[in-house]
Structure 1
């Protein structure tokens, strides 16, 4: 048995009942066979055994009181996966689906995503099975304060720097940071990213993941002689990533024809009215079907996954993991899709990703495509360290350059190891090489 297969079998044995984590590890390790062959010292140092095992897994109780005086208990998680190149960095996800396996999958992906940015940040992830939907601001505040009471024991600007993710936006980050300050009696702005602008946040952070997705997409298309202008685009989701991917697509001259939420999708042949979508989803927090009240000519479908049955040139899955399966990939291919770029974390199943590659659809993998968010979080950390703020344009220029560099590194790594055009392998290899070199230099720990 090869060392790569041996390492994966160990992961499955030691982490039962965690399919998302298994899926993420399998995708990465499969790409690393030629790297291990070229570097037998990695096998001797049991590097893969170490990189698939988190440095630390923290699980804790989060009790909180609702507005009626009822006591609830949720479970909190923080997985500090790898700090070889810098402090742990990764978001917090508040969603009923959160469990240890999902946090580990996200934290493992974060190692390589963060490495690709070229910035000194390691991998981590956290969250809770708490659902902020339908909760009052006071209820969310009480939960966040209880959550931070434990999390504060394990984080710091040079230790572990959380950010937002699904269910954790500016409101939640504000409550978390406020309670951290109270507990520490110190203003450590660099301990959390995604903060509000008045207290250490970075301009362009809100837009960063969506913008970065489109910057990567544009590079991927241009490298093959295409341009985004004039292309029809379907974007799953209607949260932060989706909305700002839509905005940047429109700025590049593309027509975004569809978006979705967990209750369905909207198809507007005239192009999505972005201002309306932002008002419905970010301000009024309504369901996407309300779009039809303002644009009756648009079509609403009750199954959000049917968005992939629509005809489009470009597909941007930006909602959640495994939202696009093999059958849906076939539908996109039959309808003429030329490019898919993953704005969410691991939104395509392994079967779907394989189909896109086999059928010569340009495919940008999540850890490369959506790295713009964490890259700009690292830029926020940099500004916090300097006690200084850059303009929106300065941050956006840095983000654009980082995404172009990520595409170039990913493409070149795939070519170097005989897998030209395979950006999944390229991203995994390029991300791994930097972390591996750091781990080898730092001894066995």
Structure 2
């Protein structure tokens, strides 16, 4: 991802039309309207996933630390949080992995760190996508040392943290987009191919820096207390670079895909969301088969940072929304920011089995990870660029408005509005 970062604020045009959202997406009558806070006081919450018991796994990118070079500060503040029974009014929230490397501004906002986490089929075991503290260079933005770790707790209560895969090394060797060497993993998806409880499944990881989705196949039978498992890593999907020689995005060319998010449906199809170089209307979601064959594509989003599916719907986080759906390559002629006192962000929903499906949206502040269950509940990590305390207004505030602390919400689509593609302008002869 050439020169891209989540700190670049964007605004885009939106056209709305009152219209009923599908009934299946509205809150039940036993809950008050509006979103429900499931967990709060989170530091830069990002990807959401489900464990084998139906609990939510939350990747927290952390809040940086005290080791600073210019405006980049690092520290062991990244974490993985588990939300047990998130559908209940008072779910249990606990950090199950702590001490992961995080890099942020001195005030801890817009952090980079553990962007993705997923549970394996081994009880209490998690795969985390983040950075290698031995390979990061705070003075060089692209020297992040992308890596994957496996973390968990033994039966005797002893915690472990093992190397899983060196994504930076794979990027240096394979460089699938042919651009600058940069590994910046955002999301991870564990795939179990059998019914046995073992850590020998494989993982997919969306690497925004490499502009690829890696497939990591480890062999834990080779691991010992002193050495990590052997593994094979391949580019499961990759997108070409559109960057200029200096590494910046070429505004005259097509936007880079920049994968940031992953989810799968019950048939094993994988959905990949892309940031689209942060350009309004140029982000996409692509559906693949389990072996990486492209099946379907939805275009016209803005800065996709989360995807989820249920039996009929596709849910998409737009970090810097709103924007109407647009054909590929087209950008709104007039960009209009959200209200001056509101943080940007939308979650969009559509029927994924319908051609040219109508899109509905709700406003959600800086959304990232999404997760949907079989009961129609949809969860989102919100204020995903903020620490637990939030972001105060001020000249140094990259968001431009006050932002509450990082949290996970259960969403309510009762008041969703319909997104409409603007009619093309006509000129008089």
TM-score w.r.t. length of structure 1? 0.26
Name the structure with the higher helix share. Answer: 1
Using CA pairs under 8 Å that are at least 6 residues apart, name the structure with larger relative contact order, 1 or 2: 2
Normalised by the length of structure 2, the TM-score is 0.27
